[in-house]
Structure formats: structure tokens, C-alpha cells
Chains A and B, each alone.
Chain A
Amino acid sequence: MSGRVIGVLGGSGAVGRVAVDRLSRYGLGPLRVGGRDLGRARAVADGAPGGAAEAVRVDLGDPGSLAAYCEGCSIVVNCAGPSYQVLDTVARAALAAGADYVDAAGDAVALRALASDPPAALARRSAVFSAGLMPGLSGLLPRVLAESGPLERLDVYVGGAAAIGPLSAVDALLTRGPGFGSALAAWRGGRVVERALAPLRSVALPGFRGRVHAWPFLSAEAADLAAELGVGELRNYTVYVSEHIPEALARAWAADDLPVEEHVPSVVAAADADIAIGGPWYTLLFHARPRVRGGGAPTRLLLRTPDSYALSGVVAALAARALAEGAVPAGAHAASAVLDPRGVLDALSRDPLVDEVDLG
């Protein structure tokens, strides 16, 4: 593989910029920063701390442009969205060029799109989806709490105040229905139980600022995690600082006769209103109850960051490093299923974008 580069698509965005920076610091070799705007991509490439980064203009909607970009890459890290449009397009281009693939977003639907009709290269190469915060860390980190034995219960709280851009808003609006998850549901006794949980309004949670609202949402990732670990009960909550976002989403979903784009401004505005309350911040909190008591293993993991998008870039870079180190088997995977939870946690606890990691 010598002489090949690691490509970062969407490299001048909020996620990609950080992925470029970390990959460069990890010393994984020369980088290729791709973006629609060459000037912005070049600015990011020039700022790479480890040097040896080139900027390339690329248009995701143009198969020729994409194929040319992937040519010569050992790994393509995709930080461009929106996920619902990208799906497996970039993954297929990367694999066709003989590269491994990392997607900082890309949910179960994107993974399935690739896996349902796998290209031949997938027998030798890897494609890692959901290498971000949620999905991503939300499905990976709780595994640390299950290291020493099965869990009777696992509670997951992820959220805070984060900007939602117009493209992410579409992704958020589409996180409903088969393949994404189910509101108010919990995992109990080996299956999804609908309407098992009520929203927690105005509660205090460790690591979260002030009183927050926690909305039960059993994501596909959480259900998979529960099934894989054999967790008796899993409660997964998305946490908001106000009810602006859940209300905006509910309104949009109720008016499903309108095209999804119509609802984007209200979701963006709701997220902005949340940030106006106390700035951006984001917390991941996992709380476990082991089936066998008194073992002394850690039962709680807490991680705080000021910027959820930037931290997704770190996770994508860590996934790329795992690929480069040959730690990921061939095939299409979710990041949470193939990354080493402890290794990622250790790396994150040293990362300047993480305010706190507390495992106890």
C-alpha cells in the first residue's frame, strides 16, 4: 500500500476538518482533502499539522469525479452528507478503487444498502459505517460496561445542545420508521416493546447541564446492541435542553403530506433556540446494572464534549486508524461492532475535544 493516501471527503466541513487534523497527527501518511470548494479544502490541507496533505475538488453527484478522487486512496473517510442521499455511493466508489471505507455518519440503512448487494471487493476490503457519535460511540462505549459480565439493564442518555444544519435536519427528520428506531420503545426480554417508556421531563442527569428532557428512542443501533450483549432491558434516551426539537420533529412527522424539506427550517430554528439557552455542549452517559451484583466492575461511563460534530471527526479518524492498523476484518460493519471500545475510550480521553471521561 505504500504511496497511497487517505482521502477525507467533506474535509472542509465541521466533521471533516477535525478528521483531517487527527489523521495528520496520528501520522498515518499523506492525506487527500476532498471538497466541493477547492479553496476551502486547500485551507484545511495547508493547516494539517503533519504536512503532506493535498486538496482535491470533488463532486459526490458526479460518478467520474468521485472515482477519480478515490483512485490511489488506501482508505476513503467520508464526512460529507446528508447520509440519506449518500447512502452507499461513496462506499462503492472507494471499494471499486481498492480502498477501505469509513463513514462518519451512514446509518444502518446505508450499511444495508451496501451489504444487500455487496461488491466483490468487500471480500477483501472493509467498509465501516456509523463512525460518529450517535450512531457510533453511543453503540460502542457501553460495551466497556459489559466487559466483565452480562447486564441486567443498560440506560443510555445521549444529547445536549448542538446546531443542526439544513442537511442534518433532513437526516433527523428521516430517522423515523423501519431501520431507524422507535420512539417511546424499550428493549425488554429479547425484543422491542413499543410504548414502554414515557418522556422524562425536567430531570437532572449526571454530566448534563441543569434540567433536561430525555425522550425515549430505541434506535436500531441500541436494539442491535441489546440483542448482541444479551441485555435484559435497554432504555435509550435522546436528551434535549428544551422541548423545541422534539416538538418540531413531532409537528413535521404529523404533517407527513408535505415534503420533508418544508420542515427543515423549523428543526434548524429549534436547535438554534436550544444553543441560545447556554451554548453548545454534548454528553454521552451510560449506566449499567450488572446481572451479577457486587463484582466491582464499572457501572457508569460519562463523556462530555463541547462539540458533537467535531468529536464525530475524531471517531472517524480513529476508525481509519484501526483500518490502517489492520484491526478491522473485511466486510461491511457498523463501527460499534468492530472498533475496540477500550482503545477508542483511551484515545478520546486524551483528545482535547473531550472535556471529561469518567468511568467508575
Chain B
Amino acid sequence: MTSPSVSPPAPGPDGTDPVESVLAGIWAELLDLDTADLTPGSSFLRLGGDSVLAVRMAALVRKRLSVVLALSDVTVEITLARLADLVRRRRTHTGAVRELPLEVSRRADPAEPFPLMPLQQGYFVGQQGGWELSYDSAHFYADVGLTGVDGDEAADALTDALERLVEHQPTLRARVTPEGRQYVLDPGAPGAVPRLLVHDLRDAPADEVAATLARVREEMATSGPDPSRGPGLDIRLSLLPGDRGRLHTAMSLLVFDGWSSTVLNRELLTLSSDWNAVLPPLEIDFGDYVSALARLPETEAWAADRDWWWSRLDALPSPPALPLRTDPKDARPALMLTLERHLSPERWAALRRNCAERGVTPSTAMLTAFSVVLSRWAGHRSMLLNSLQLNRLPLHPDINRVVGAFASTMLIPMELPAGAVFADIAADTQRVFGEHAAHNLVSGVEVARELGRRLDTTRPVGPVVFQSTLGMDAALGEKHPASVGPLGEISFDDFYHQLRTPQVALEARVYELNDEMAVVFSLVEELFDPAEVDAAFTALVELAESLADGPGWDAPVELPEALDPQGAGLRLGLPGPDRVAEESGPLRGDTEQRVAEIWEELLDVPVLDRGADFFRLGGDSLLAVRALARLAGEAGLLLGVRDFLDAPTVAGVAAAARPAGETR
């Protein structure tokens, strides 16, 4: 049992969970089955239960375990595991203790496909084209300078390190299927180990060196690795004159999160620097974690978090109404623009001290500063921001050393008070952030999906993102190795990076590098006025500096009068284009029948009207991708994502997909 629980239930004499075994006894009795036939995932209905037996079951639970269950809790579809969780919670009344009855263990078959996590789904869908603010690949590209490279040994050392790392971290062998599932290749499978590409420019003239580096950067930044086609990691080494070099890495966001990229870089460099280095073995991999999480929605804790979010959805503000020069639906970005400035080690240390004094984290201070800047830019004080969270649930001691796409998003409603000083606003932000983060079992991606459904839009609902990895270095323990054997020394001040995140209009990132704090804007350039972007970025850096230097904390923060978006013109967060309203009525013709049947199977609800809307029926973007695949594969109906989104009704999709010439 490796759950983070404070008080796991004592196991029975045979090592089984006592609650579950009592319940299994009750089920066996009612359903006339042997307890051996019951697995935690078996549903009462599938085993032969009905609503009458469910009432009797509740009565027996009351009698034998002294737990009173509401009938609405004991549905016929309930599984043994969910019931056990329900009973445990009712018994202990420890609503505050987030005891998760989940256990991560090795899967029997490490090659077995497993589902995508919610944010992975978002990235996967974002790679299908047609969605607003999407790219062919969602990835992070970086290159860093090396000095004192042993040109004859470096490539071999790196190749060897890569082979060992691929063995150690299965996610390096991850692939994503067209239906949006993932699996891990055997280490011996062809293509399992990403191939290191070496650009040997040691004897090349300066202009060729510059041209080649520029070309590699351009190539790797605009066409990232795609685990639906090959490895999710692209790694290259440029050998340069004067024993210098550059290490280039591109990582797919579909399989690696930010924390993973740090772990990966460190492990790769550790292995490169020493042929004999051995990494502490990992007991679990990402697939094991995801498989354990499959039962999360069956827990009461998850249901409580969902209810918490759902009850707030209708009151959430809209994103900052930043003035736009292009409607996001018309933008076709290839790259995001990156702006970056650093706070010196002294200022960064001072900022940490000042934050500690005021009882806020540096991340909170920077989130508050970003909100202030956005508020002035957008002209209102209440806004919905999105944030990227590491979100690794502590289900296993190895969890933080595993590479994978654990990360998730979290929506944060920011309401900046008028006339307050920065320190008070930051304290308030800290409280709001903590309150929301305490309900992180339901990811921001899922919350955003439900919000989109309620707002009846398929546009991104949280296109302005904040991400902080401040404190991550401390969490990882020892500092990043600077000296890496044959690869020489890493020049941290010679670091270049590029990010492509779908569904994001503007992202602010803060991270630590080499004792400095970096402040970054990544944005879709064509959306905004460049002068406004520069002004906002400069304002953010200046505010950070003023917080490091001191005066920023106690001065009243000047903010716009308006709470909610004002003003006309093209602005971020506008309601989506009106969906084509298809006339409702009976399904017409064979094509509509086929569309309805496929939707019905995918969504598990009746689809009986030609005006039925895929998203209102409960569909989401991943299911939409699956629907498109099945329409093409089973019904020979071809249509693009954009067509689907423009009219996501049975009639709309059938009309868009209907081959020319067919009349009805």
C-alpha cells in the first residue's frame, strides 16, 4: 500500500482490505456468486444486480458495517471499489483527509496501451489541425553551448548515455496511437532508441557554422518530434571549432512535461559524463501511474473535487480581454514569439527574501505581478487565468524521478481589488491559489472542457497561461551538473529555447537557471500589437525588479476601474462564432443515421435528433478526434476537424461529410 493516506485501513488477516471483503461477501450473497468472481472493477449491474438488489445491498451495508448510504450513491452501475471507497469515507467522516485508495504497481504487461492523461489529450488533439491555435507538433526546443568538448569522444558518450537512458526511462520509448492512446516500445524494438544526429562543423568556416546552426534551430523548433510517428525526443550535437559545441534537444509535450525535461537532461548528462554511472532503478513507470489513476474517478475524493469545480463554473470570469489585431480563429502560427529577461543572482536572492518576509512564495508574487500587468493591459480587474501544474500525485516514492507527461493545468480566477497594495493582493492570490490547488484531482483540462460545454464554445477558455518552476531546482536536490565529461562544460548563459503550446495565446513563465530568475513571455505574435507586448513584458520585469528591490510591495497598485471586460473591438476571450444552428428533427437519410450510430457508441447516450450537438451530448475534443477516425474508417465519411467544429451536430457533420453528388 503506497497511498498517501494518513490512516490506511488495516488489512485483514489474509492481507485484504476488510471493508472490501465484507462488501464482496454482501455482493456474493445477493447475487449468488462466489467472492472469487468479484474484482474491484466489477459493476453491480454487470454481475446481475438491479435497483431492487441495490436497495437490499444498502440495507446489508448498514447492518454489517454501520454505514448509512443514500440511494442516489448506490446506483446499479457502482463498482465494488467505488462502493468500498464510499463506505470508508462515510465511516471515517474524514472529509479533509484526501486518502486515495489508489495503488501504483507494475503492470503485468509493460507494452499494454494505456489512456492519455487529460493534458496529453489536449496536446494530442491540438496536433490534429483545425483547432484554434494549434500546431503540427506541441514541443519544447532548447539548445545550450558547450566548451572544452572532446570532439572524438562526445558523440559516442552521448549515444551510449541515450541507450542507457532509454532503458531506464520507458517514456523515451513511448508512442501515441491515432485513436489517442499510448504504449511503450520494447527497448529492443526498431526505433526505440532515438538516433543522435551529429553536425560536425569543427573544420567549417564561420559563416557555414552560423548558417548550419540557424538551420538546425529553425528545423527543430518548427517541426518537433511527434510520438505518433516516432520518438518523442529529437537530440542533436553540433561539434564546433575550438572544442566548442551545442547540444540541441526537442521534446514532445505529448510525452514529456517540464519536470521531466529537467530530469531527462540531468540524467542524460550524468550518464554522458561517466560511462559507469548507474541511476537508481525505478520501480514504476508512467504507464503504471496512469493505469492506477484510471480508478481515480471512482473515488469520493475525485467526486468531491469535481463538485467543487462544477459549482463554481458558472461564476468564473472570462479571460483577460487583451486587444487583438487578429481573431485567434484566423491565426495560423508556426512558432511562438519568445521574450526573455533575467534577474541577476543578487536580485533573485533578494526577491526570495522579500517574499519569505511577506509570507508568499516567489511563484505567487510573480503570478500576482503578471495579473497586475494583464489587468492594466486588458482594462479590467477580474479575469480567468490558466496555469500549468506539475501535478504528480504522491502515490509512489519514485514518482518524482519518473519521466512522463504528468503535468496538468489549473484554472485560477483572479480578482484584483482596487486601491490595495501589492503585498495584500499577493497574500490574497496565495490564498485563492491554495484553495484551488487543494482540488487538483480534477484537472484544469477537464474543468475547461466542462466550462466550454457550458459556454457552448470549442475555443480555448483559458488562453492566457502562467507557469512557474521556481523552486524546482531545490526540489530536485543537487544542482545541475555543469561539467559533463567528454561533452565538456555547459555554458548556462548561452541558452536558447522555443516553446509551442497549443491553445495558448500568451504564456508567462518564470524559471531558475544558474542562480538567476528568468522571466519569459511566449506568445502567438500575430494576435497582438508588438508595442503592447513589449510594454507589458517590460512592465512585468520592472515590477519583478521592484519587488526584489523592495518598493514594489507597499505602494498602492494602480488598476483599471472596471471589474469586467469593457470596450469594443477585437479582444481575447470573445464568445466563439455562432455555431450553425441545424434544424432539429428526425434523422434524415443514411448518412445522418450512420453519424448518429457512431456518436451513440462513442458517447454512450441516445442520439435521436439531427440537431443533437456532439459536445452537448457529452463529447470532448479527444472523442471528436475518435469520431472523425471512425466516420472515415467505418462509414467512409471524410471531413476535417474544422468542419466538425463549425457544425458539430448530426446534420452538420453529415452535410459536411456527404460526398459531392449524393442528393437527398
Contacts and interface: CB of A to CB of B under 8 A. Distances in A.
Binding between chains A and B: yes
A298 B606 contact: no
Interface string B27-48: 0000000000000000001101
Contacts, number: 80
Interface stretch (A13-21, A44-52, A197-205, A324-332): A197-205
Interface string B49-65: 01111111001000000
Nearest to A157: B606
Given A195-B48, A294-B589, A250 B55 contact: yes
B586 A155 contact: no
A184 B50 contact: yes
A299 B586 contact: yes
B6 interface: no
Which of B53, B71, B586 is the most central at the interface, judged by chain A CB atoms within 10 Å of its CB? B586
Interface string B136-148: 0000000000000
A358 B585 contact: yes
Interface stretch (A57-65, A88-96, A112-120, A285-293): A285-293
Contact of B606 (A203, A249, A255, A294): A203
A293 B605 contact: no
Contact of A155 (B59, B77, B585, B606): B606
A319 B608 CA distance: 30
A109 B76 CA distance: 29
Contacts of B50: 183-184, 195
Given A250-B51, A254-B52, A360-B586, A204 B71 contact: no
B532 to A, nearest CB: 43
Residues of B contacting A: mostly: loop
A358 B608 CA distance: 13
A358 B55 CA distance: 39
Nearest to B588: A360
Given A253-B52, A254-B56, A360-B585, A198 B606 contact: no
A285 B50 CA distance: 25
Interface in B67-100: 71-72, 75-77
A195 B45 contact: yes
Interface in B5-44: none
B77 A251 contact: no
A206 interface: yes
A289 B52 contact: no
B526 to A, nearest CB: 39
A245 B54 CA distance: 15
Contacts of A261: none
B77 A299 contact: no
Given A204-B617, A285-B608, A300 B54 contact: no
A293 B606 contact: no
Contact of A298 (B46, B72, B586, B616): B586
B525 interface: no
Nearest to A184: B50
Interface in A74-122: none
Contacts of B585: 358, 360
Given A250-B71, A287-B608, A358-B585, A198 B77 contact: yes
Contacts of A296: 589, 664
B659 to A, nearest CB: 14
Given A195-B46, A247-B71, A250-B52, A200 B586 contact: no
A250 B51 CA distance: 6
B602 to A, nearest CB: 15
B71 A293 contact: no
A243 interface: yes
B514 interface: no
A155 B608 contact: yes
B45 A203 contact: no
**The 6 residue pairs across chains A and B that have the minimum distance between CB atoms:** A300-B586, A254-B55, A360-B586, A250-B51, A206-B609, A294-B590
Given A205-B606, A294-B589, 16 more contacts: A155-B608, A183-B51, A199-B75, A199-B76, A204-B616, A204-B617, A206-B584, A243-B72, A246-B51, A254-B52, A255-B55, A296-B664, A299-B593, A359-B586, A360-B585, A360-B588
25 contacts: A155-B608, A183-B50, A184-B45, A184-B76, A195-B45, A198-B76, A198-B77, A200-B606, A201-B75, A204-B617, A205-B608, A206-B609, A246-B51, A247-B51, A247-B72, A249-B51, A250-B51, A251-B55, A285-B608, A289-B593, A289-B597, A293-B593, A294-B589, A298-B586, A299-B587
